[in-house]
């Protein structure tokens, strides 16, 4: 009890001790994870001009964009697209707020009216935009489909953002005018001419090997021109690709299997009865190709003309008789055996008109379509009956009932078009019927009332049945590739990557300058996992890792890690060395020459005096020497007959003498030139304004830190 009493008496002291212990524990954890002290929360993808973009909001937008982009766009491409949109929005919103510009309700209605002016669902009987229909549409979305309503809200936001951007750009352009003084200057830039005599001592006259450039000189040049040599963090790797490709043995096995279908078989390899009828003797070709042979290409019952066959084998197949077989042959990554199933004469082009009656659920039907399939069929049959009675009614029925907007302007007509242009059912009707035929045909788009108006040039067409096998590696081959890749990975980890590759005759492929948000690795395409690995905190130079890629493996080694900042001397040498060398050559030429006339300079440097006439400031090019802005600018600063000193140009050291000055023709009015200046300024706004705002913005990109990519 005495001990407990003492503890109670010192309870405040104990609380302080415990608090200090907890505080020190938290501090230790913070210092252990320095990002917690120095970085933004893992939930903040970016901060742009003080505005945070949260991970959750960013990923929601990426998800929507991915659905819109479809399967052809990679996740990294979509993320980068959303990133640029978010950056632009944040950068521009600051400008809108500072100027106090916004899109109000009335303007929003006008914008929607303009954007939706041709949408049929919002037009009245007179073909004019009806705001009441728009209001009903929005209310219906809100009540029936929260997801669709959310998409509509995003659409309105996009319309508003576009309008704000347009307003902002127009305001900037309005402040950029071309004055008459600027017009006069522009006119003189184009019209003032000088003729010169010049001597060029080309830098190429001094061999590169005689000009020594030290690492310190390259370093000094980098530091004097820092902005040009700032770089992101990057990585260098090298890798070997192990491809799972079919071997010669694999290809021979595939061909042997296809020969079985060409020749037929009574017994299998074990001697058991296993009858396979020869392809040429088969009657039910579709069942044989799709089920018995289990072809990788399914039977297509459409007829084709000769150009529709594989170019390399078109003659061999097209000239077969009905029932004859050709193959096996290798075509586009497969081995094939083809048979002429049928031959007929078919027009090569046709002309039709049609009325499309869609139904609920038909492809490309809009939300206004509510009729069922049976109702659509009934309507199509009734329209057909009317047309059969009076074909002159076709155009007005197209206008009233057809939902095919692509043909509305032509009274439902599709002018001359080749065989197999339309969907199969439509195609079969227009090419297998005869001119004048009328009928109702169902396709994925709905019911079509079709009239055949014309057919041209009947030609031989063939129906081809093909048994195809993709040329793929066997299990034996893929197992060998796996063993080879694993063996190399282990041996390279114990020895030298390059040496082990050389011993096995593997090709090592280097990839330098990989950025943290890059997606592709040259030679193997989209390999984001390799990029992520090279930037992981624990990845060290020399590390080796195996990656599964489509059709094989990559064994990669991290070769170098480059920090963000200025380029290293080694990395910058290729760019900087020629520039420093040129400076030193220029100084060498100037040091060894002490002359005051062109003739003396030409004699001293064993060259000639040349002439160039009609030089202007707008296009600072010298005949025989190329583009030399500094030299041309110097010429316009000299009087007629005056000689310059030595000038360091882009391609050499020059001395010039102005032989003639021709002023631009004086104009009574320079408004036309002023208008050109104004247009030039306007074009600069369109191309450079946003980039300038973006460059000036404070953008903190945390995509890598938050592992968003």
Please indicate, yes or no, if residue 697 is contained in any of the structural domains. no
CA dist 229 and 220 (Å) reads: 12
Per the domain annotation, does 94 fall within a domain?
yes
Question: Tell me, what's the pLDDT at 702?
Answer: 82
Q: Is the pLDDT of residue 668 over 50?
A: yes
Structural domain span for residue 52: 44-167
pLDDT of 112 higher than 90: no
* Poorest-pLDDT segment among 14-23, 166-175, 339-348, 582-591: 14-23
Same domain flag for 444 and 510: no
Number of domains in the chain: 5
Looking at the fold, whether 327 and 389 belong to one and the same domain comes out as yes
Q: Which of 441, 472, 503 is the last residue of a domain?
A: 472
Q: Could you tell me if residue 670 is inside a domain?
A: no
Residue 424 lies in a domain: yes
Most confident of the ranges 95-104, 333-342, 678-687: 333-342
User: What is residue 55's predicted lDDT score, i.e. its pLDDT?
Assistant: 86
Pair 349, 400 in one domain: yes
Residue 43: which pLDDT band, with cuts at 50, 70 and 90? confident
Average pLDDT of the chain to the nearest whole number? 88
Q: Which range (41-45, 79-83, 231-235) has the least confidence?
A: 41-45
Q: What distance in Å separates the CA atoms of residue 519 and residue 527, rounded to the nearest whole number? A: 6
For residue 342, what pLDDT band results from cuts at 50, 70 and 90? very high
Q: How many helices and strands in the chain, by DSSP H and E?
A: 24, 25
Distance set, CA 192 to CA 187, 535, 639 (Å): 8, 57, 13
Query: Are residues 162 and 98 part of one domain?
Result: yes
Please tell me whether residues 330 and 409 are part of one structural domain.
yes
Residue 604's Cβ-count burial label (10 Å; 0-12, 13-18, 19+) is middle
590-606 residue pLDDT tens: 999 999 999 999 999 99
Structural domain includes residue 280:
yes
Does residue 709 belong to any structural domain of this protein? no
Q: Which residue has the tokens 């074990």?
A: 270
State what percent of residues in the chain have pLDDT above 90: 61
Can you give the pLDDT at residue 351? Answer: 95
In a shared domain, residues 312 and 207? no
Does 354 lie in the same domain as 322? yes
461 in any annotated domain: yes
Helices (H), 424-474: 424-432
Burial class (CB in 10 A: 0-12, 13-18, 19+), 438: middle
Please indicate, yes or no, whether residues 154 and 287 belong to a single structural domain of this protein.
no
Of the given ranges (13-22, 204-213, 633-642), which has the lowest mean pLDDT? 13-22
Of the three residues 411, 441, 472, the one that is the final residue of a domain is 472
pLDDT at 32 over 70: no
- The pLDDT value given to residue 175: 87
* Tens digits of residue pLDDT in 569-583: 988 999 999 999 999
User: Which CATH number belongs to the domain containing residue 77 in this structure?
Assistant: 1.10.4030
Query: 143 pLDDT band (50/70/90 cuts)?
Result: confident
What's the pLDDT score for residue 606? 94
Q: State the residue for tokens 């990519």.
A: 709
pLDDT at 523 over 70: yes
Residue 321's pLDDT is: 94
Most confident option among 120-134, 251-265, 355-369:
251-265
Asked if the structure places residue 305 within a domain, the reply is yes
Q: Is 151 exposed, middle or buried (0-12, 13-18, 19+ CB in 10 A)?
A: middle
Tell me what pLDDT residue 517 has.
Answer: 86
pLDDT-derived band at 19, boundaries 50, 70, 90: very low
- Candidate from 22-36, 141-155, 173-187, 525-539 with smallest mean pLDDT: 22-36
């Amino acid at each position: 009890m005495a001990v407990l009493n003492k503890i109670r008496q010192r309870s405040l002291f104990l609380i302080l001790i415990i608090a200090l212990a907890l505080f020190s524990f938290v501090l230790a954890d913070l210092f252990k994870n320095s990002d917690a002290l120095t970085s933004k929360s893992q939930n903040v993808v970016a901060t742009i001009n003080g505005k945070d973009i949260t991970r959750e909001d960013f990923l929601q937008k990426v998800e929507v964009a991915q659905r819109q982009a479809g399967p052809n766009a990679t996740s990294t491409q979509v993320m980068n697209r959303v990133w640029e949109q978010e950056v632009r929005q944040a950068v521009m919103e600051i400008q809108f707020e500072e100027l106090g510009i916004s899109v109000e309700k009335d303007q929003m209605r006008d914008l929607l009216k303009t954007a939706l002016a041709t949408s049929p669902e919002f037009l009245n009987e007179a073909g004019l935009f009806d705001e009441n229909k728009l209001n009903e549409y929005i209310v219906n979305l809100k009540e029936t489909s929260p997801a669709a309503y959310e998409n509509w809200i995003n659409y309105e936001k996009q319309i508003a953002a576009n309008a704000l951007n347009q307003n902002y750009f127009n305001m900037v352009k309005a402040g950029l005018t071309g004055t008459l003084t600027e017009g006069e200057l522009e006119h003189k830039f184009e019209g003032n001419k000088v003729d010169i005599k010049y001597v060029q001592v080309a830098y190429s006259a001094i061999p590169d090997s005689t000009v020594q450039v030290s690492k310190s000189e390259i370093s000094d040049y980098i530091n004097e021109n820092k902005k040009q040599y700032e770089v992101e963090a990057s990585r260098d790797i090298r890798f070997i690709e192990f491809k799972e490709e079919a071997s010669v043995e694999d290809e021979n096995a595939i061909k042997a299997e296809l020969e079985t279908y060409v020749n037929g078989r009574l017994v299998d390899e074990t001697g058991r009865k296993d009858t396979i009828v020869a392809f040429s003797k088969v009657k039910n070709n579709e069942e044989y190709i799709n089920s018995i042979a289990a072809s990788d290409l399914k039977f297509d019952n459409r007829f084709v003309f000769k150009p529709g066959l594989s170019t390399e084998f078109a003659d061999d197949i097209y000239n077969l008789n009905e029932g004859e077989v050709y193959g096996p042959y290798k075509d586009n990554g497969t081995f094939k055996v083809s048979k002429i199933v049928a031959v007929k004469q078919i027009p090569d082009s046709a002309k039709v008109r049609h009325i499309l009656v869609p139904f609920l659920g038909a492809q490309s039907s809009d939300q206004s379509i509510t009729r069922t399939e049976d109702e659509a069929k009934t309507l199509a049959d009734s329209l057909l009956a009317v047309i059969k009675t009076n074909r002159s009614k076709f155009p007005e029925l197209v206008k009233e009932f057809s939902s095919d907007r692509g043909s509305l302007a032509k009274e439902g007509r599709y002018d001359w078009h080749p065989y197999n242009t339309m969907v199969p059912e439509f195609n079969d009707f227009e090419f297998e019927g005869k001119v004048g035929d009328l009928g109702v045909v169902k396709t994925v788009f709905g019911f079509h009332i079709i009239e055949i108006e014309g057919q041209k040039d009947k030609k031989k067409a063939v129906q081809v049945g093909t048994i195809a096998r993709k040329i793929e590696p066997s299990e034996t081959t893929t197992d060998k590739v796996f063993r080879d890749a694993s063996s190399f990975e282990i041996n390279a980890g114990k020895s030298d990557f390059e040496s082990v590759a050389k011993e096995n005759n593997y090709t090592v492929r280097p990839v330098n300058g990989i950025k943290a948000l890059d997606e592709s690795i040259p030679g193997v395409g989209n390999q984001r996992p390799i990029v992520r690995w090279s930037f992981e905190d624990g990845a060290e130079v020399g590390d080796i890792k195996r990656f599964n890629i489509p059709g094989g493996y990559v064994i990669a080694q991290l070769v170098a890690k480059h920090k963000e900042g200025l380029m290293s001397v080694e990395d910058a040498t290729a760019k900087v060395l020629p520039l420093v060398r040129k400076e030193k050559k220029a100084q060498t030429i100037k040091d060894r020459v002490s002359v005051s006339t062109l003739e003396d300079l030409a004699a001293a440097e064993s060259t000639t005096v040349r002439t160039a006439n009609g030089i202007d400031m707008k296009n600072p090019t010298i005949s025989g020497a190329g583009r030399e802005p500094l030299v041309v600018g110097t010429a316009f600063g000299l009087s007629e007959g005056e000689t310059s000193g030595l000038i360091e140009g882009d391609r050499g050291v020059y001395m010039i003498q102005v032989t003639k000055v021709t002023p631009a023709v004086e104009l009574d009015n320079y408004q036309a030139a002023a208008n050109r200046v104004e247009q030039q300024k306007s074009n600069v706004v369109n191309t450079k304004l946003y980039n300038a705002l973006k460059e000036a913005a404070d953008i903190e990109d945390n995509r890598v830190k938050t592992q968003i990519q």
